[in-house]
Chains A and B, each alone.
Chain A
Amino acid sequence: SQQGEEDPQALSIQEGENATMNCSYKTSINNLQWYRQNSGRGLVHLILIRSNEREKHSGRLRVTLDTSKKSSSLLITASRAADTASYFCATPQGGKLQFGAGTQVVVTP
C-alpha cells in the first residue's frame, strides 16, 4: 500500500501565486522528505522535516508536519516559472524510503 500520497495530483498556477500541496501517510515516521523532479531529470532533495518538528523553512519553501493527522504540506511562495516540476514526498516504510506518485505543478508566466 502507498505510504505517502500527494494531493492534488496536478496544480496549475500563475507566477507570483503560492502553491500548496499535501502529503498523507499511514504509519508513524521519524522524518518526512520532499523532493522536486524537473521533467526528464533526477529528483532533487528539497527539505527533510523530523517528527519532532512542526514547521521548517528553506528559501521560498515552507513545510509543515502534523503527526497527529499523519500529514505534511509543502508551500511554495511567490512561485516562478522555474518552479514547474513534480513534487514528491518520501516517508520511511519497512526501513526503506517510499515515494508518493507526486504533484505535478505548472507555473505559467
Chain B
Amino acid sequence: SQTIHQWPATLVQPVGSPLSLECTVEGTSNPNLYWYRQAAGRGLQLLFYSVGIGQISSEVPQNLSASRPQDRQFILSSKKLLLSDSGFYLCAWSVRSERLTDTQYFGPGTRLTVL
C-alpha cells in the first residue's frame, strides 16, 4: 500500500532563518506531487506541484521554493522565512497523470510557526 511521510511534524523557526520540509512517498512510482499551505480555519492553497523529477510548477509567487531530487521525494524550502510563512504545510500525491484533478492522498502535515 502507499504511504506518504512528512517531517518534521512541527517546527518553530525565527524570522529570516532557512527552511527545509521533506515529503516522501512509498508504494507508488512516478506520482504527481503537491505542496499546499493551510492557514488556520481555512482551505488549502496550492503552492507547488510536480509531474516528474526536476519538474516544478509554482502557483503562488513567494519566498518559497520546491525541488524534486528523486521520484518520490519532494522538498519545500526557503532561504529566509517571513512571519507570513507560518501555517500548516501539507504534501500530497496523486497517480501520475497530466490531470492534476484526480484523487489526492495527503501526508500528516507540518505545523510551521515563524516567530
Contact pick for A42, options B99, B101, B108, CB 8 Å: B108
**Shortest Cβ distance from B46 into A: residue:** A96
Q: A40-B111, A42-B90, A101-B43 are in contact. Are A92 and B101 (CB under 8 A)?
A: yes
Contact residues in B for A31 (Cβ distance below 8 Å): 101
Q: A40-B109, A40-B111, A44-B106 are in contact. Are A102 and B43 (CB under 8 A)?
A: yes
CB-CB contacts below 8 Å: B22-80 with A: 41-44, 46, 49, 59
Q: A41-B108, A42-B90, A42-B108 are in contact. Are A96 and B103 (CB under 8 A)?
A: no
Alpha-carbon gap, A90 to B88, bound state (A): 18
- Bitwise, A78-101 to B at CB < 8 A (1) or not (0) is 000000000010101001111111
Alpha-carbon gap, A33 to B105, bound state (A): 12
Q: Say how far B91's CB is from chain A's closest CB, in angstroms.
A: 8
Question: Number of contacting residues on B, CB 8 A?
Answer: 22
Q: Say how far A8's CB is from chain B's closest CB, in angstroms.
A: 14
Across the A-B interface, how many residue pairs have beta carbons closer than 8 Å?
Answer: 53
Alpha-carbon gap, A10 to B42, bound state (A): 12
Q: Does B107 contact A (CB under 8 A)?
A: yes
Alpha-carbon gap, A98 to B36, bound state (A): 11
Contact residues in B for A40 (Cβ distance below 8 Å): 88, 109, 111
Q: A40-B109, A42-B106, A42-B107 are in contact. Are A96 and B101 (CB under 8 A)?
A: yes
**Shortest Cβ distance from A43 into B: residue:** B106
Contact residues in A for B44 (Cβ distance below 8 Å): 43, 88, 99
Alpha-carbon gap, A30 to B104, bound state (A): 16
Alpha-carbon gap, A71 to B111, bound state (A): 32
Pick from A33, A42, A104 the residue with the most CB of B within 10 Å: A42
Alpha-carbon gap, A101 to B40, bound state (A): 10
